[in-house]
């Protein structure tokens, strides 16, 4: 059996960490968010995310690009192998977009690009993935064919390719023949085409739900109140609780009742809680008799501390100081570090909470009423870091003080941190309160939910 070795020069060579692409693909590094005027829609299939946007440098055939994106930074996943699931998701998304085009132009066509392999060396058996000068990323193009001077979307000309012509994806300049030349967008033209394609996608995307494809075309807002559970005996003893199911003590029950008073008058459409009793009890005490909306999920559990659960936090700190050099770790090493096989790393916990937050964002039953999350200190930190785009290594401990964060955070945008009230997209509004006698941490996030309103 032949054995092939795969190399990824963009990962193995430090000089490629900041990749400089050719002019024709520089747009490939732009984040894809619905705040971007060229972005038409975002789609999700299983755990993969895709962006649909107009090609920023070429409007031939109202040309759009569909690409696999990193769910954290909303940028393309470049120069690696792609799974069958990722390819299936791309195919479904492209089928949706092509159908939308077919409702506008006489002929809608598509082509998938972004092959895994760039070069193959037969003697060494090495397959090389993308290089900085010619990136490999899983994507495809959708475009229309018809009268090149036709105006199928308001007054925006189709600008080719002409029917029956060869569509040259790599035409570098206007010096090419008329049907192959690149034609730049005007901002008003781009807006008109994006709006029309959004409308067509909204009209047909429900048919793709049965195949597991979720589609988002516009932003909707919902408030998420994040509550840390009330006090337990292990809290007062400074013991690591993690997954150990410790109940609330008398003080913890009092704290939850105080939060019930503070939340009076707020109607929660849904209440999610960790399946650990201290979080569940906190949610029940806040809601009183109205507990029918509570949904338990293990995704909101506290970070697992493994065999150290039940021991003092100072003991673990002392152990790590004696056995590891955490101060020498890179951020990536620190976030993925586990002191033994039974523990959960920061990255593991972050991905778990991220999965939950994203499940809310794509829920078709989500209303405009706020949502309550009853969770844990570490879990709450990871949830806030996810929406705040704060690197986990820079996070602050949520302490037993009354903090109320009012965050306006567009999903998929790298926002600037700001302590003043801002309405502009990408800004964060932070309001800090310290209500007397409230020893429980509560937070409210105004989350930009990217969902179709249809």
Active-site positions read 229, 302
SS (HEC) of the chain: CCCCEEECHHHHCHHHCCCCCCHHHHHHHCCCCCCCCCEEEEEEECCEEEEEEECCCCCHHHCEEEEEECCCCCCECECCCCCHHHHHHHHHHHHHHHHHHHCCCCEEEEEEECCCCCEEECCCCEEECCECCECCECEEEEEEEECCCCCCECCECCCCCECCCCCCCCCCCCCCCCCCCCCCCCHHHHHHHHHHHHHHHHHHCHHHHCCCEEEECCEEEEEEEEEECCCEHHHHCCECCCCCCCCECHHHHHHHHHHHHHCCCCCCCEEEEECCHHHHHHHHHHHCCCCCCEEEEHHHCCCCCHHHCCCEHHHHHHHHHHHCCHHHCCHHHHHHCCCCCCCCCHHHHHHHHHHHHHHHHCCCCCCCCCEEEEECHHHHHHHHHHHHCCCHHHCCCCCCCCCCCEEEECCCCCCECCCCCCCCCCECCCCCCCCCCCCCCEEEEEEEEECCCC
């Amino acid at each position: 059996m032949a054995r092939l070795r795969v190399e990824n020069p963009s990962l193995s060579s430090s000089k490629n960490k900041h990749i400089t692409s050719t002019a024709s693909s520089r747009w490939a590094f732009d984040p894809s968010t619905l705040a971007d005027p060229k972005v038409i829609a975002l789609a999700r299939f299983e755990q993969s995310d895709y962006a649909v946007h107009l090609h920023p440098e070429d409007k031939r055939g109202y040309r759009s690009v569909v690409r696999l994106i990193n769910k954290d930074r909303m940028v393309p996943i470049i120069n690696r192998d792609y799974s069958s699931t990722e390819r299936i998701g791309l195919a479904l998304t492209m089928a949706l977009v092509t159908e939308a085009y077919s409702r506008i132009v006489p002929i809608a066509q598509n082509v998938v690009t972004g092959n895994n392999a760039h070069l193959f060396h037969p003697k060494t058996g090495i397959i090389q993935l993308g290089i900085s000068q010619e990136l490999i990323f899983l994507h495809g193009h959708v475009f229309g064919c018809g009268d090149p001077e036709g105006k199928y979307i308001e007054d925006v000309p189709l600008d080719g390719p002409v029917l029956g012509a060869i569509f040259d994806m790599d035409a570098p300049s206007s010096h090419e023949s008329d049907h192959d030349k690149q034609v730049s967008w005007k901002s008003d033209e781009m807006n008109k085409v994006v709006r029309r394609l959004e409308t067509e996608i909204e009209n047909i995307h429900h048919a793709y739900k049965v195949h597991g494809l979720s589609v988002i075309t516009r932003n909707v807002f919902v408030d998420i109140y994040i509550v840390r559970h009330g006090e337990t005996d292990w809290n007062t003893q400074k013991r690591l609780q993690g997954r150990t199911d410790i109940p609330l003590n008398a003080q913890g029950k009092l704290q939850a009742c105080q939060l019930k008073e503070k939340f009076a008058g707020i109607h929660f459409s849904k209440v999610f809680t960790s399946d650990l009793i201290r979080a569940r009890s906190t949610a029940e005490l806040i809601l009183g008799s109205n507990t029918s909306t509570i949904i338990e999920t293990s995704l909101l559990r506290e970070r697992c501390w493994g065999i150290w659960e039940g021991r003092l936090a100072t003991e673990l700190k002392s152990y790590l100081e004696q056995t590891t050099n955490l101060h020498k770790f890179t951020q990536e090493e620190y976030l993925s570090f586990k002191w033994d096989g039974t523990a959960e790393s920061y990255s593991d916990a972050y991905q778990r909470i991220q999965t939950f937050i994203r499940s809310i964002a794509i829920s078709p039953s989500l209303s405009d009423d706020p949502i309550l999350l009853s969770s844990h200190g570490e879990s709450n930190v990871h949830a806030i870091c996810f929406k705040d785009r704060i690197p986990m290594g820079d996070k602050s401990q949520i302490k037993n003080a009354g903090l109320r964060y009012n965050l306006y955070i567009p999903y998929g945008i790298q926002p600037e941190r700001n302590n003043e009230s801002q309405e502009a997209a990408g800004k964060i509004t932070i309001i800090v309160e310290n209500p007397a006698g409230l020893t429980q941490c509560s937070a409210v996030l105004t989350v930009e939910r990217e969902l179709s309103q249809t």
